[in-house]
Chains A and B, each alone.
Chain A
């Protein structure tokens, strides 16, 4: 634990978290004015070269424009075919290894003894001063304790209780949609549905739910972390606002319980009921880390699969016909959407010792990036990987949730949300036509859409 984090834990009972975050921000601003702060890359978009014009060692898949410019498939195919374990020594995020084939990714993901998830799972670092502690970026055994304390919020048993509520909220959104006129699917459906879900999971004030989306979007979008566009002033302001609201939520929940109200199935209530996490509010960086993980985990991912599914069915219209003829394919299609979209491009590790992999020696301390987006298109393991097939055999065997101890704990919730969405869509609409190319976010981590105009045709 860092010195700053320890200091924040000691002062947490007397100084509110959002004041602490603001104080750190002010301190760093002064410090970085007086002394040179850590390097923060800037990204200005220009067309990326065609991959076949590059020497293999010059291929840099850390560009935040690779997905937006539709170059990711050709770049990763070349790496998979010619140099599946690839070293890029000069990226804006420092040197790193790319693991691009399915089997090698499973190897790295499984071997938490060889590859550490600490201190963070993105290609770049977190902004200075916001080094939150979250179990996705912890190794066993601490990871296991913390995950167990919170995973029940998205465990299947809890989801069974929540299915009716998810369906009701999905229907509310879909019943309001305009038919026969253009609208933005991302804002109106994908963001709205995931925001409602997050507010439900946290029992967060419903009318403030868009704050959750904003905090989540900002937290993964700084240039030094993923090549995004949000500067550190905005991130600090968002973190302070989030800290204020989450700490209040914690104390409100504790007060409700003290007054004799039954504990709910929301995340905070579960944390307060667990021995390991019942005092977490006194450890602000850990508390904020766990909440951030939950809102990020439930936001960008499912949102972009909700958009990606519509896009995929437009690019492969025969599959849409197949789906309408046989809605029983929905569960299998949900897995295929999650593979095809791969909403998070990768997870990063650090080698804990020298490791031989596919003919290369990864040195102790080296950064290692498992490109799920590439592994999910690996011809060696997946038949016609660039084709979207809703009845694909073995559709569940995709990499998007990761494998091993860090496997996505919200996977069942994601599948449930997407299944319900498509069940309800098919009952209402004959077509969801994508009217123009979607706008993609700037990131090497989130493979997401910021806008996609569509038009609905009502079911006859």
Chain B
């Protein structure tokens, strides 16, 4: 099975199955991963599904739109490879992806 690994701030790792076509946020929520709030339900409008993608995977997660960039700009924990999980579409090509969660969502 194709899977992604989501690592909580404290280091707890969750390996979850990829369901192609869903967003990474939706997969995390469906698997009840703590640390992803997704307050706007995937509208790229709240910034509470912030993930930090491992650098070797960053380019493969797609491009960051202006609106995503603006929402990410509001979090103090933004890193160079930050993304909003609701804007990453899951596919078999992301098999093996690793993302870290920030300490806080805001």
Q: Is B a genuine binding partner of A?
A: yes
The answer to whether B74 touches A412, judged by C-beta atoms less than 8 angstroms apart, is: no
The tally of residues in B whose CB lies under 8 Å from a CB in A reads: 20
One of A33-41, A292-300, A403-411 at the interface: A403-411
Closest CB of chain B to A228's CB: distance in Å?
A: 30
Contact with B along A117-156 (1 / 0, CB 8 A): 0000000000000000000000010001001100110011
Chain B residues near A109: list those with CB within 8 A. 45
Closest CB of chain A to B84's CB: distance in Å?
A: 13
The answer to whether B104 touches A152, judged by C-beta atoms less than 8 angstroms apart, is: no
Closest A residue to B42 using CB positions: A397
B2: CB under 8 A from chain A?
A: no
Q: Which of A106, A144, A157, A412 contacts B73 (CB 8 A)?
A: A144
A43: CB under 8 A from chain B?
A: no
Task: Identify whether the interface residues of B are mostly helix, strand, loop, or mixed.
Answer: loop
Which residues of chain B from 14 to 70 have any CB-CB distance to chain A below 8 Å in the complex? 37-41, 43-47, 67, 70
A394: CB under 8 A from chain B?
A: yes
B80: CB under 8 A from chain A?
A: no
Chain B residues near A407: list those with CB within 8 A. 45-47, 74
The tally of residues in A whose CB lies under 8 Å from a CB in B reads: 23
Q: What's the A-B contact tally at a CB cutoff of 8 Å? A: 56
CA distance A106 to B106 in the complex (A): 18
Whether A110 touches B103, Cβ cut-off 8 Å, given contacts A140-B70, A144-B73, A405-B70, is no
Contact with A along B69-93 (1 / 0, CB 8 A): 0110110100000000000000000
Contact with B along A221-241 (1 / 0, CB 8 A): 000000000000000000000
Closest CB of chain B to A395's CB: distance in Å?
A: 10
A396: CB under 8 A from chain B?
A: yes
CA distance A401 to B41 in the complex (A): 14
Q: Which of A147, A394, A397 contacts B74 (CB 8 A)?
A: A147
Closest A residue to B70 using CB positions: A405
CA distance A106 to B40 in the complex (A): 9
Q: Which of A394, A397, A404, A412 contacts B104 (CB 8 A)?
A: A412
In the A-B complex, the 6 residue pairs with the closest CB atoms: A156-B104, A403-B45, A396-B39, A397-B41, A110-B45, A404-B45
Sample of 26 A–B contacts (CB below 8 Å): A106-B43, A109-B45, A110-B44, A140-B70, A144-B74, A148-B74, A151-B74, A155-B76, A155-B104, A155-B106, A156-B103, A156-B105, A157-B103, A157-B104, A394-B41, A396-B38, A397-B39, A401-B39, A403-B40, A403-B43, A404-B71, A405-B70, A405-B74, A407-B45, A411-B106, A412-B104
Known: A109-B45, A110-B45, A144-B74. 7 other contacts (CB 8 A): A110-B43, A110-B44, A151-B74, A157-B103, A397-B40, A404-B45, A405-B74
